[in-house]
Structure 1
Amino acid sequence: MPPLSDFPPMQHVGSEYLYETVVVKSLSFNTPTMLGFMFSLVALAFGFSYLVIIPLVEYFRDPKGLRKYPNLTFLSGLSDVPFIYEAHKGFRSHALLKAHEKHPVVRIGPNALSFGTKEAVKDIYGHNTRCGKDLMYKELAGSHYHLADVIDKPDHARKRKMLSSAYAIKNLENWEHKVVDMTARLIRAFDARCTSPLKQGERPVEQDQTVDYRMWSNLFTVCAIANIGLSEDLGFLDRGDDLVTSEAVDGTTKKVHFRECLHATAWVQSNLVWSYNWYQTLAKLSKLVSPTYRLKWKLNEGWDGIVRNRATTRFKRYEAGEKLDDFFTAILHDKSGAPNNLEWGEMVAEVSIMMNAGSDTTAIAMNNAMYLLLKHPQHLKRLREELDETLEDDEVVAPYDKVKQLPFLRACLDESMRLLPPTTFGLPRRTPPEGAPILGDYIAGDTTVSMSAYVAHRDSSVFPDPEVYNPERWLGEEGKELQPYFVAFSAGARGCIGRNISYLEQMVLLASLLHRYEFALPHPEWEPIRRENFNLSPGPMPLKVWMRKSADEA
């Protein structure tokens, strides 16, 4: 130690004074670093407790009695992260199917159960179910609820009553001419893309694969619902593209691609929503850390703008005095002409779900029906025989009145929607606060319960050989017995209100195309890529198309 004479002169030079001075200077110098270190430790401890300790305690405390159910993954009982990971892999329902091959009930999150047997359909979705819409719908809702995401049961009943008359079967005749018009436009586009007949045993060359059926069927459904719902002609089928106007909140407009914006919206939401408490935070973080997410969220803004422009465009026509017969009229006033007096946000919300669910699911169903028939020529042959017996050679567009009761046509459509449901994800419901019985077991209150249509349609006790495309299973009395377990349009009071419109479009278009054309996949083993967001969405389906021979030519 240096002699005391080496230190600066001090009033008090005792050793205690020196020690205290050195310690105080040292502490003063390191205070910011130490405070930062302490804050980091506290934050780490809090995060560890919140993400690990508390979930572990709750898992073993098991207040709802969910620990008895097997987990989808090792960590599913502790966190929603594993299910979010499954979502990013692109086919959650397939993972659920594998799990349900062993277990009727599977825990997919700390507060979520998936069911896999036929009896659960009635318990979760039936007319007398005590389960309501899950919190997922609240997280994804905008400023106002629409018919598909409204949680409050009286509010749902109000909306359903308001719109049910527009979607009723008796009104299909009023709008069939709109579907006929869109079918005729699609046929003109396909006529222009016809190639020479394919010789037996040959594969179509790439330049002859002139039709992406996935795209064209989607253009058809978007144009059809825009015309039926809003009396708007989008022109997609005439141009062969889906460019549409998107309108920002400030009124500025730009052109965007309809399908790209819609599918991006479904992609980001279906990846992240499964942790309800964290969804909004995850959405914000995803924009910061991922260029892919930033692009998808930007496209989501484009989708919101598409809906906004459709609604404002239609409302301006109403203000101008146009009397139009469409779904939007049912939003504006009831059958007697009394105004519904809806807030603008609610009107926009109803346009949103109409343009979304009213186009995408039907297009997927159309694509899958064509794909499966081309993969199974024996069923295609039988369907064509049924159509040829019903339609005249010179009938370009199949009249709905002629095809709506064709048993094998309906069977082919239902079987394709059974095997490949357009909406595969388990539509989540929530048990009431007092709990509810499902599969004879009491499920505690405020628990998320669901059943994937992809899983439900593969219950072999209902659908023998479930992986086989077999339209015959839907014929006769045996086919009628399957209907309670067919949930492609969901079931019960919350079942899809637009199923009649979907069948109208599917029947008219498929009958018209198969009566007029021959189609070929790129090769017999070809399969489309598929990704599950909320819907099980197929990728492009390139086809070769050529004119069929008439009965006189055959």
Structure 2
Amino acid sequence: RRYWHPLSHVPGPFVWSISHLPIWHQYVVKGGRLLHALPKLHDRYGPVVRISPNEVHLSDTTLYDTIYSVGTRFLKDPSFYTPMEGPVATPILLTVLSPDEHRWRRKMITPFFSRQSVLAVEAMVWDKANKFCDVMQSELDDASKTRPFDAYKALRAVAIDVITEYAYARCWHMLDRPADGYGIWYPEAIRSVQTMFPWLQTLPFLTPLFGALPDGAKIALFPPYKRWNDSLQAVRLAVDQVGAELARGSHPPRRTIIHHLMEPQEKGLRLDDAAVFADAVNVTGAGTETTGATQERAMYEVLRHPDVHASLVKELREAFPNPADMRWTLLEQLPVLNGVIKEALRLNPGVPGRLPRVVPPGGATFNGVYLPGGTIVSMSAWDMHNDPSVFPSPSAFDPYRWIQGTTTTAQQIRQREKYLVAFSRGSRGCVGQNLAMCELYCTIAAIFRRFDDLSLRVSSDFGPEDMEMTELVLGYHPNKRRFRV
């Protein structure tokens, strides 16, 4: 593997080049710190580094569009994506490898996530955002409660309530369940199941074996699967309710994604029941932790920077003397809010880590290094968002880097927008990004238009490392010590 392999000429650490264990170690033992280990390897070995027997990681951010673009010939790596099917035992849109099948399946749901479709349900998003503010107001006003408000849980409840209302026309009402931790069990289930992936990716023969086991055996072997199984049952119930509704010939006032997927499509084709369920799991899960975590990061950073906090409150109050007049399209025109949202996405991308692709037949050359066809090649949003040549002082939260002025030119902003790939790019980019952006703008605007006296409450040992990104597939904070308001 080291000396007689087609990638023997690619620089990289010895152990990484002969084994998958270093990547497994970064995920399992180090707690998802691969995205921090890779830049250190690039500092030592250059822009092209061999990180496993058949995988090469690239740090040259100008190459991103070569690999992740519409019509790319660099297809998804099955050894990375197929193990993600294990928990639902069937391909989801994220893991479909065939471009033709992916195109057909994406085409089915894309109209429901278009900007026009999201604008049509903006009132629902505002309802959830304002409900969050009502819940926080109630908690903070309750004299019998001395503990600050745990925004970590409630912000994820906003995301859950939005996506379930959007996908099924049946809200799960997590914001109404403070005794249940605002439904925190659901995002924790998503997090727990991802701890399986490094094992299945390192030992791929386990994927079909694990999928064939009954649920009881899965839970016995992997106790966190219990949470995941509970989440699957919740999604199954929602899908079954939609199916029963269609069988009765009744329809909700608003046609949803799941209603659409369960009905015949063009040429009489439709997804089978397993694929509908898998995509329902994908839509619900992907629409929860990613958006909730970015909202959390935005709120944390604004409260941590008094100057930004004051500027944002002032901007919102001057633009909207009546908060009922706030609209997503108008909020996008506010420079400070726009900068806050983009910085939160930059520092907290939903999927910060590497996205492996397969070099097409004939090979490809990157930075003077030839990679034969079949080589796995990867880049990451984290590297794009932390390129100091594009984002000076990349670890700093600086919403003003997105505002044209004396220190920032329009050309610099255009370049930064090109390098902001929180939703990836191309035909494999996040299909739900319009809904996510609507949620981010509405929720953050609702919070800071209503409240001007919020402050952070953190323990004495809380530090920057508590908000540092780690990743399984989705991005996370260690959350050993959470901030409160």
Q: TM-score range by the shorter chain?
A: 0.7 to 0.9
Q: Is contact 1:397-1:508 (8 Å) kept?
A: no
Could you tell me how far apart the structure 1 residues matched to 2:209 and 2:310 are?
50
- In structure 1, give the amino acid aligned to 2:121: W
Q: Which of the numbers 27, 38, 60 marks the counterpart of 1:96?
A: 38
Q: Contact 1:131–1:436 at 8 Å: present in 2 too? A: no
1:448-527 mapped onto 2 (5 Å cutoff): 448-476=376-404, 477=410, 478-517=412-451, 518-523=453-458, 526-527=462-463
Larger Rg: 1
Return closer, same or farther for 1:433/1:282 CA change in 2, 3 Å cut-off. farther
Q: Which amino acid aligns with 2:23?
A: F
Contact 1:219–1:242 under 8 Å retained in 2: no
Which residue is 1:194 aligned to? 140
Mapping for residues 168-183 of structure 1, pairs under 5 Å = 168-183=114-129
Closer, same or farther in 2 for the Cα pair 1:219/1:319, shift >3 Å? Answer: same
Match of 1:299 among 191, 203, 227: 227
Deviations 1:109-157 (A, max 9, x none): 1111111121221122122532011112122224432222111001111
Residue 78 of structure 1 corresponds to which residue in structure 2?
Answer: 18
Which aligned pairs between 1:144-163 and structure 2 lie closer than 5 A?
144-163=90-109
* Aligned equivalent of 1:420: 348
> Which of residues 213, 224, 232 in structure 1 aligns to 2:170?
232
Q: Give 1:464 shift.
A: 1.6
Q: Give, as a single letter, the amino acid of the residue that structure 2 aligns with 1:84.
A: W
Aligned to 2:407: none
Quick check: 2:163–2:288 contact (8 Å CA) kept in 1?
yes
Alpha-carbon distance, 1:86 to partner = 0.8
- State the SS of the aligned residue for 2:454: strand
Residue 119 to residue 292, structure 1, CA distance change in 2 (3 Å): farther
Q: Which one of the candidate residues 151, 154, 158 is aligned to 1:213?
A: 151
Q: List structure 1 runs of 4+ shifted beyond 6 angstroms.
A: 281-284, 287-293
Q: Provide the secondary structure at the position in 1 that maps to 2:56.
A: strand
> Aligned with 1:274: secondary structure?
helix
Q: State the alpha-carbon separation in 2 of the partners of residues 291 and 238 from structure 1.
A: 29
Alpha-carbon displacement from aligned partner over 1:411-443 (angstroms, at most 9, x marks no partner): 111112212323211111112233234345432
Quick check: 1:537 aligned with 2:479? no
- Superposition pairs for residues 215-364 of structure 1, below 5 Å? 215-240=153-178, 257-269=185-197, 271-275=198-202, 277-280=204-207, 294-320=222-248, 321-323=250-252, 324-333=254-263, 340-364=269-293
SS of 2:484's partner is strand
Q: 1:196 to 1:166 in 2, by over 3 A?
A: closer
Asked if 2 retains the 8 angstrom alpha-carbon contact of 1:331 and 1:340, the reply is no
Q: What's the offset of the Cα at 1:524? A: 9.2
Q: Distance in 1 between matches of 2:446 and 2:184?
A: 31
Match of 1:6 in 2: none
In 2 relative to 1, CA 104–231 (structure 1 residues): closer, same or farther, beyond 3 Å? same
SS at match of 1:541: coil
Give the Cα–Cα distance (whole angstroms) in 1 for the partners of residues 438 and 268 of structure 2: 29
SS in 1 for 2:140: coil
Which residue number in structure 2 is paired with residue 114 of structure 1? 57
Sequence identity percentage: 24
2:16 match: secondary structure? coil
- Return 5+ residue gaps in structure 2 as ranges: 405-409
Deviations 1:40-82 (A, max 9, x none): xxxxxxxxxxxxxxxxxx32212x23442212xx411111011
- Structure 2 CA distance for aligned equivalents of residues 396 and 267 of structure 1: 42
**Secondary structure of 2:374's partner?**
coil
**Shift of the alpha carbon at 1:382?**
1.7
Taking structure 1 as the reference length, the TM-score comes to 0.76
Which residue in 2 is equivalent to 1:51?
Answer: none
Amino acid at match of 2:152: R
1:391·1:402 contact (CA, 8 Å) conserved in 2?
A: no
Provide the rounded CA distance (Å) in 1 between the counterparts of 2:435 and 2:450. Answer: 23
SS in 2 for 1:145: coil
Taking the aligned partners of 1:407 and 1:273, their CA distance within structure 2 comes to: 44
Name the CA shift for 1:162/1:430 in 2 (closer, same or farther; >3 Å).
same
RMSD: 3.1
Q: CA deviation at 1:340?
A: 4.5
Measured against aligned partners, the alpha-carbon deviations of 1:223-250 in whole angstroms (never above 9, x if no partner) come to: 1000011101212111225689xxxxxx
1:218 deviates by 0.3
Gaps of 5+ in 1: 1-57, 198-205, 245-254, 545-554
